[in-house]
A and B are shown apart, each in its own frame.
Chain A
Amino acid sequence: MKVVDRTVAPPLRDIERIELPQVEPVQLANGAHVWRISAGTQEVIKLEFLFDAGRWQEPQRAVATTTAKMLMEGTTSKSAQQLAEEFEYYGANINTDAAIDYSTITLFCLTKHLPNLLPLLHEMIYEAAFPEAELETHIRNSKQRLKVNLEKVDFLAHREFNLRLFGANHPNGYTTSAEDYDGLSAETLRQFHESGYVHGGFRLIAAGKVTDEHLKMLDDTFGKRVIPASNDSHFTHTVETAPGRQFFIERKDSVQSAIRAGKILVNKTHPDFPKLRVLNTVLGGYFGSRLMQNLREDKGYCYGVHSGIASYVNTACFFVSTEVGHHVTDAAVKEIYREIDRLRNEPVPEDELKIVRNYMLGVLLGDADGPLNVSEIIRGLIVFGLDKEYFIRLVNETRTTTSEELLRLAQQYLDPASMIEAVAGSK
């Protein structure tokens, strides 16, 4: 057996094609849209229902999330315990939650149990009862968890950042408080459930080994209910960024400070977005990123630092987030802005950009692999009204991004003077 020459890197082959598996749009009898992703090696299914019942649509704080959570706390004919017992008997995993723009109900199960689970799921969604006693328990326990979170600097910095960046009246701006929980009533939740779920339409992503027979079962269970025409356009919220740039939350004796800095950005539907993703990755989106190399690998300030773009239907934000030793807080903030400025003043060297492009294409290849991953891509498209073409564009734009484009984007979008920063820690 020959021995390899370890001083020479093996030859590489570029990723030439990234293809999504077939995603088949179908409609149930009532017109509800289903995206079917039938692929994979395992006899599993993931169903994800999207309802227009997120924070964007809620009438008061904490209603969307609490309504979603309370779906699992009992129906008109089943107690919370019976419901949990029946889902779990079939080894199913069920999650309900509200995001900013929509709420999700996600079921993971083995295909063989689907016939038993669908009627149960239907009952849970449409006949939720919001029992007072269960609501009380839910609120009490949520408030206890909140107390623990309020001891964490990253939670505090995140909360302050959102509040200052989006404003207290914006769905993105608030972090649920004890008062918000106290303001909830079962009646408010019932009304929201009525408008958002019972009389609202849904979109469904069905991924895994989804057969025609499974689709028929879905149609039988969820295709009969009449869905009124969508009326999702009457909610408006405006971002109101607070005056001032630096916000500090004191936590006495904290050995680390949490830092969160950033600004409002364009969202996924903007033509610049695919290349802004590349810019963000260079800065703080992967292990080899400039922030990680500088703050962690060069200076040892932190365990981790990253930047990201959070994209919502009506807004988006760019952020950098880290927790650093409290004595290096100011130095770390300075280095974050120094790295952002470097992107605005010097083109990214070609060899660095090549690494980032290849890395990102590898990630996209993984994202497109397997029905469960693909279901997340599809969700990320349909809520923005985008289709598979967008994913193809994303791949192509990632592949063709140039240093000049990144320089222009950094200059246009990442002016540190337009950013705010929230720090939680000790003085």
Chain B
Amino acid sequence: MSTCYHIAVLCIRMIQFVKHQLSNGLRVIVHEDNSTPLAAVNLLYDVGSRDESPDQTGFAHLFEHLMFGGSKNIEVFDVPLQMAGGENNAFTSTDITNYYETLPSQNLETAFWLESDRMNELAFSEQSLEVQRKVVVEEFKEHYINQPYGDVWHKLRELAYTTHPYRWPTIGIKPEHIEQAQLDDVRNFFFSHYRPNHAILVVSGNVKADEVFHLAEEYFGDIPAGVNGQRRLPAEPLQTEARTSTVYADVPLNAIYKAWHFPARTESSYYASDLISDILSGGKSGRLYQSLVKEQKLFSEINCYQTGSLDPGLLVVEGKLLPGIAMEPAEQAIEKELEKIKSQQVEEHELNKVKNRIESQMTFSEAEILNKAMNLAFAELLGDASLINREITKYLAVTADEVKEQAIRILKPTNCSTLYYLASH
């Protein structure tokens, strides 16, 4: 047994915050940090590509673009924000759509005005839709078509998921789905998902909690709540046999991608499972890199990571083979490393190493007010913002037994989908 509370705790500062819910369901969280002249505003909407219908994929992300195309009282979102000395951006994932601004704290109200106006009523402009369809199609081409290995996640998700909407990536299955989006779809999507009861607003930085709550009430208080429907996503059935698929493409190197179903972000086994990816591939001392790149010289690069998804996600090992190396021995070498983590308990030293790494990453990520705001919003989505202060303890409490147990559970051949991505010439 290896517990190691002594190595951390002291270093992680508690993030103090206060929370308040408006009558329309909007959750508002404030973290005061007066070491900065800035404020960060993070508005998370509980909608991602998992909420799309299979014949209209990529819509949540397209919608994110449309959120910048003007709202009822504000023609161009960016202009007032830039005038206020602020910056903003947004991202969409399989699970969430997240908007954020940082600006001088004296102009905080501008961010409230902007975010609340587009939550209240988007402009629903035909012209904006037409342009953003084109922009997103170019984004699709730039990142997923015109890149070597660009479509890997399309192929891998399709193989690993048969049923759950994680079977398509956030950008969508194909550009045609985006090209076909209509204004009515935009309107429907907005009124079903972009309501205050589906959102979490976090403000961090040089602010006062009571002033933020006051602003929240003023700007968001009168936005009507939406229907509080239960999310009913088709669950992914248990995978019972190994799946493989082979793709030939115009790429310079053969590659292999192996994906295993992995616990959801909210499961208690998540923390021990997450450490598997750190043990296999955290930094240069990770097992896969040391063994397969450095010692055996089978791969030019190899990585292991997991998707951290709200529904059961994937643990992925991906590697690019060196020239002249056959796929079979390369794959066997990966299997051998996986066998090791399933059959032998990880040593205390190595377990401490990955825990130290996590402690360090968490502490650094909390050096920025925007990160703190994002982390608080996501923790609240997971169930409780205070999780942000408890996660480190959960990681530190993981034992070698638990890691082994999860490795055995996850890294089963019948739980695995393997994609061989081969050079066609």
Which positions in A face B, CB cutoff 8 Å?
Answer: 1-4, 6-7, 9-13, 15, 39-44, 72, 80-81, 84-85, 87-93, 108-113, 137, 140-141, 144-145, 147-148, 150-153, 254-256, 286-288, 296-303, 323-325, 354-356, 358-359, 361-363, 365-366, 369-370, 372
Contact of A153 among B87, B146, B366 (CB under 8 A): B146
Could you tell me if B284 and A13 are in contact, using CB atoms closer than 8 angstroms? no
Contacts of A4 in B (CB 8 A): 113, 218-219
**Mind listing 23 A-B residue pairs with CB under 8 Å?**
A1-B217, A3-B221, A6-B116, A6-B120, A10-B110, A12-B84, A13-B104, A41-B33, A84-B285, A109-B360, A113-B356, A141-B293, A141-B300, A144-B320, A150-B252, A151-B252, A299-B134, A300-B132, A300-B133, A359-B87, A362-B85, A362-B87, A362-B103
Question: CB of B238 within 8 A of chain A?
Answer: no
Could you tell me if B37 and A369 are in contact, using CB atoms closer than 8 angstroms? yes
Question: Which chain A residue has the least Cβ–Cβ distance from B214?
Answer: A1
Contacts of B79 in A (CB 8 A): 288, 355
Contact of A9 among B80, B148, B366 (CB under 8 A): B80
The secondary structure that dominates the A interface is mixed
Could you tell me if B356 and A89 are in contact, using CB atoms closer than 8 angstroms? yes
Which positions in B face A, CB cutoff 8 Å?
Answer: 10-11, 13, 33, 35-38, 72-73, 76, 78-80, 82-87, 102-104, 106-107, 109-110, 112-113, 116-117, 120, 130-136, 138-139, 141-143, 145-149, 217-219, 221-222, 250-253, 282-285, 290, 293-294, 297, 300-301, 320, 322-323, 349, 352-353, 356-361, 363-364, 366-368
Could you tell me if A141 and B301 are in contact, using CB atoms closer than 8 angstroms? yes
A108-B364, A256-B142 given as contacts; is B85 within 8 A of A359 (CB)?
A: yes
Contacts of A9 in B (CB 8 A): 80, 110, 113
Could you tell me if B36 and A369 are in contact, using CB atoms closer than 8 angstroms? yes
Bound CA span A339–B344, Å: 63
Could you tell me if B36 and A72 are in contact, using CB atoms closer than 8 angstroms? no
Could you tell me if A151 and B364 are in contact, using CB atoms closer than 8 angstroms? no
Question: Which chain A residue has the least Cβ–Cβ distance from B283?
Answer: A88
Bound CA span A80–B297, Å: 15
Bound CA span A26–B368, Å: 27
Bound CA span A41–B76, Å: 36
User: How far apart are B396's CB and chain A's nearest CB, in angstroms?
Assistant: 12
Could you tell me if B142 and A303 are in contact, using CB atoms closer than 8 angstroms? yes
Contacts of A254 in B (CB 8 A): 146
User: How far apart are B73's CB and chain A's nearest CB, in angstroms?
Assistant: 5
User: How far apart are A422's CB and chain B's nearest CB, in angstroms?
Assistant: 17
User: How far apart are A191's CB and chain B's nearest CB, in angstroms?
Assistant: 25
Contacts of B106 in A (CB 8 A): 13
Could you tell me if B107 and A12 are in contact, using CB atoms closer than 8 angstroms? yes
Question: Which chain A residue has the least Cβ–Cβ distance from B110?
Answer: A10
Bound CA span A2–B147, Å: 53
A256-B142, A365-B104 given as contacts; is B85 within 8 A of A15 (CB)?
A: yes
